[in-house]
Amino acid sequence: MRILLVEDEENIREVVRINLEMEDYEVIAAEDGRKAIKFFREQHFDLIILDVMLPELDGFQVCEQIRLSNLEVPIIFLTAKDTSADRIAGLRRGADDYLTKPFHLEELLLRVRNLLKRTTKPNEESLTSYSFGNNKVDFKTYQAEGNPGSFTLTKKEAMLLKLLIDRKNEVVSRQQILQSVWGYDVYPSTRTIDNFILSFRKYFEEDPKVPQHFLSVRGVGYKFVEDRG
C-alpha cells in the first residue's frame, strides 16, 4: 500500500513516515502542496495524509485538485485548527477523515488502517477474469478471447492489462505502468508500452484504428474504458 504524506513540518513528517514504514506502508513524502499534486499525477497512491496549513497551496486546495481527477483515493486531513467550521469545510472538500494536531500516532495508524480496509474493493485482489465487449481475459492462465480467437497473452501483457482494468476509467501514467509491470530495475522505452497498447487494440478492439477501450492520453499515459457510451 502506497501512502502520499504531505506535511511541511519536518519533525512531524519524519515521525509519521517512520511509523508508517514500520507498518509496512510505502511512503512518499511531499513538503508542499505543489509537490504533492505533482507526485499524485505521476504515481499511484492508496491513501493520502494531507496537512492543511502548507506553503504555496494549502491542503484544501490540494484536496480539490486531487478530487477533480480522483474521487476514490481516501484522504485524511491533519490540522492544527480545531473549529467545527474547519472540519465541515474540510469534509465538504472531499476528505474522508480529519485529525487535529497534536494527535496520537496510534490514532493516525488506526485511521489509516480503517480507511484502507473500507476503500479496498474486495474483488480487486481477486480479479481473476474479466469480460468486455466480445472479449474475455483470464489473468490466472493468461488465456484470452478476442479478435485472434482464443490465444495466450504473455505474462507482461497480462500484468499490464490487469493494471489498466483494475484502474478502469482512470488515466494510468507511464511511470505507474513501469513501476507496476516492470519494477524498478528494468526500464523499457516508452515505445515498448506503446507497442503493448497497439497489441491490445489488435487483440480486442473492433476497429484497432478507432480504439474504444484502450485510449492514449497524450503526454500522460493510458486509460482503459469498458464502454464509451
Taking the least distance from each CB to Ca ion, the nearer of 51 and 205 is 51
Taking the least distance from each CB to Ca ion, the nearer of 51 and 157 is 51
Cell representation of residue 121? 474493493
In the complex, least distance from residue 16 CB atom to Ca ion, rounded to whole angstroms: 12
Contact 144/152 with Cβ under 8 angstroms? yes
Cell representation of residue 11? 519533525
Taking the least distance from each CB to Ca ion, the nearer of 81 and 223 is 81
Distance of alpha carbon 72 from the chain centroid: 9
- Distant-in-sequence, close-in-space partners of 120: CB < 8 Å, separation ≥ 6: 46
In the complex, least distance from residue 9 CB atom to Ca ion, rounded to whole angstroms: 5
Taking the least distance from each CB to Ca ion, the nearer of 62 and 159 is 62
Cell representation of residue 227? 464502454
Instruction: Give backbone dihedrals phi and psi of 198, rounded to 5 degrees, phi first.
Output: -60, -40
In the complex, least distance from residue 51 CB atom to Ca ion, rounded to whole angstroms: 4
Taking the least distance from each CB to Ca ion, the nearer of 8 and 145 is 8
Q: Which residue is nearest to Ca ion (CB)?
A: 53
CA torsion through residues 156, 162, 164, 166, sign: negative
**Amino acid identity for residue 29 in this structure:** A
Taking the least distance from each CB to Ca ion, the nearer of 62 and 172 is 62
For residue 20, with 0-12 CB atoms within 10 Å meaning exposed, 13-18 middle and 19 or more buried, which class applies?
buried
| Interface residues toward Ca ion, by CB under 5 A | 8, 51, 53
The DSSP bridge partners found for residue 137 are: 130, 144
Contact 224/165 with Cβ under 8 angstroms? yes
